A and B are shown apart, each in its own frame.
Chain A
Amino acid sequence: EPEVTQTPSHQVTQMGQEVILRCVPISNHLYFYWYRQILGQKVEFLVSFYNNEISEKSEIFDDQFSVERPDGSNFTLKIRSTKLEDSAMYFCASSRFVAGGREQFFGPGTRLTVL
């Protein structure tokens, strides 16, 4: 059964450095998402992406964040200049549809640690 994959599983970086988190969504899916979960807190929506553009983003998703689907396969989240508070688990998700009770399929997550 196809699955969403994410790399790396754990990323450690210094404050101020750029990081790119990578995701490979399920191949026939059309809608892509990033969520994050700070330790001990709820899963929070960051951004949705459809038809090669951002369809919705949260207040968290400021100018330091960007997303890209560079080759029709990968879906990346870039943080330009990481802060300590960016330390979290980042989940990628994808879905085939958005109408009527559509299921989002989640990746295993990337744990980002900013030192």
Chain B
Amino acid sequence: AQRVTQPEKLLSVFKGAPVELKCNYSYSGSPELFWYVQYSRQRLQLLLRHISRESIKGFTADLNKGETSFHLKKPFAQEEDSAMYYCALSFNAGGTSYGKLTFGQGTILTVHP
């Protein structure tokens, strides 16, 4: 069975400091990893996905299959980055997957001025 672990429930940094939100997963096949974000009073929305290898709002995440990790990083945090961040995993099992997401517990990031 697949599992996603986000070890930090809370993470506080000061504006301009680097930030790293950790995510580890367990899945025996080829996973697809995502970061979703939920800003205050807003809905869950996709931040980035490993398959795109993109940088969104200055955030990047690299899939490390050896360490089974997909940590989210940003070199200089901004106050508007304060939100709940969820790491999520999906998979494509021979074309039979229908996109089910398995979420981690979430990390509340607070960026102080």
Contacts and interface: CB of A to CB of B under 8 A. Distances in A.
A42 B92 CA distance: 22
Interface of B: 32, 34, 36, 43-46, 49-52, 86, 92, 97-106
Given A3-B43, A35-B101, A43-B86, 8 more contacts: A42-B105, A43-B103, A56-B100, A91-B44, A98-B92, A100-B32, A101-B52, A106-B44
Interface residues of A, number: 28
A27 interface: no
Most chain B CB within a 10 A radius of its CB, from A91, A98, A101? A101
A106 B45 contact: yes
Most-contacted residue by chain A among B97, B98, B101 (CB, 10 A): B98
Given A101-B32, A109-B43, A31 B98 contact: yes
A39 interface: no
Interface stretch (A15-23, A44-52, A66-74, A75-83): A44-52
Contacts of A41: 105
B98 A108 contact: no
Interface of A: 3-4, 31, 33, 35, 41-45, 48, 50, 55-56, 91, 95, 98-109
20 contacts: A31-B99, A33-B99, A35-B101, A35-B103, A41-B105, A43-B106, A44-B103, A45-B101, A45-B102, A48-B98, A50-B98, A98-B97, A98-B98, A100-B92, A101-B49, A102-B99, A104-B99, A104-B101, A106-B45, A108-B43
Nearest to B36: A106
